[in-house]
């Protein structure tokens, strides 16, 4: 039997160690300012890919206005940076820069037409994660975007 191409690279990426804390499946409940009074329910999973070389983030919200998405979390070890490469069912793809902090992480995408940023805070012994999203259109002031509470399943 032939060995898989690149099999020796299927190892844990030390730059992603922090994310061990969020691996698994989560239930989400959220809000979006464009939909006042609507509770947005969904599911998210974080799973290692290729032995931990990357982390795969899959998401869905049970509302037709919100797309299912897939993201890959990776790193550039030489630059000391983390990033998220996002893709969704609309065909939208975006790159977000990631920073870590003691109790969570933040992701940000700066673009003259549409910028987004989101913070994620881990709570309750890493059994809950709370996110707060913001967006800016055409360089205008930051305004609220999708915010969610994640409960580990």
- Number of domains making up the chain: 1
Res 1: pLDDT:
72
pTM of the predicted structure, to 2 decimals: 0.94
Q: What whole-number distance in Å separates Cα of residue 98 and Cα of residue 81?
A: 7
Confidence of residue 3 (pLDDT cuts 50, 70, 90): confident
The CATH number of residue 96's host domain is 2.40.128.20
Per-residue pLDDT reduced to its tens digit, 113-138: 999 999 999 999 999 999 999 999 99
Q: Considering the domain boundaries, does residue 3 fall inside one?
A: no
The residue segments making up the domain with residue 118 are: 11-152
Q: Considering the domain boundaries, does residue 117 fall inside one?
A: yes
Q: Considering the domain boundaries, does residue 55 fall inside one?
A: yes
Res 93: pLDDT:
97
DSSP for 47-74 reads EEEGGGTEEEEEEEESSTTS--EEEEEE
Per-residue pLDDT reduced to its tens digit, 57-88: 999 999 999 999 999 999 999 999 999 999 99
User: Is 30 within 8 Å of 47 (Cβ atoms)?
Assistant: no
């Amino acid at each position: 039997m032939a060995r898989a191409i690149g099999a020796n690279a299927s190892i844990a990426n030390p730059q992603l160690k922090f994310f061990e804390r969020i691996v698994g499946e989560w239930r989400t409940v959220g809000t979006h300012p464009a939909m006042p009074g609507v509770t947005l329910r969904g599911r998210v999973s974080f799973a290692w890919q290729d032995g931990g070389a990357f982390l795969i983030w899959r998401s869905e919200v049970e509302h037709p206005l919100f797309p299912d998405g897939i993201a890959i979390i990776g790193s550039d070890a030489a630059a000391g940076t983390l990033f998220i490469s996002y893709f969704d069912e609309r065909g939208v793809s975006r790159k977000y820069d990631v920073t870590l902090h003691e109790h969570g992480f933040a992701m940000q995408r700066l673009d003259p037409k549409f910028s987004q940023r989101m913070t994620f805070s881990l709570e309750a012994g890493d059994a809950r994660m709370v996110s707060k999203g913001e967006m800016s259109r055409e360089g205008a002031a930051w305004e609220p975007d999708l915010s969610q509470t994640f409960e580990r399943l």
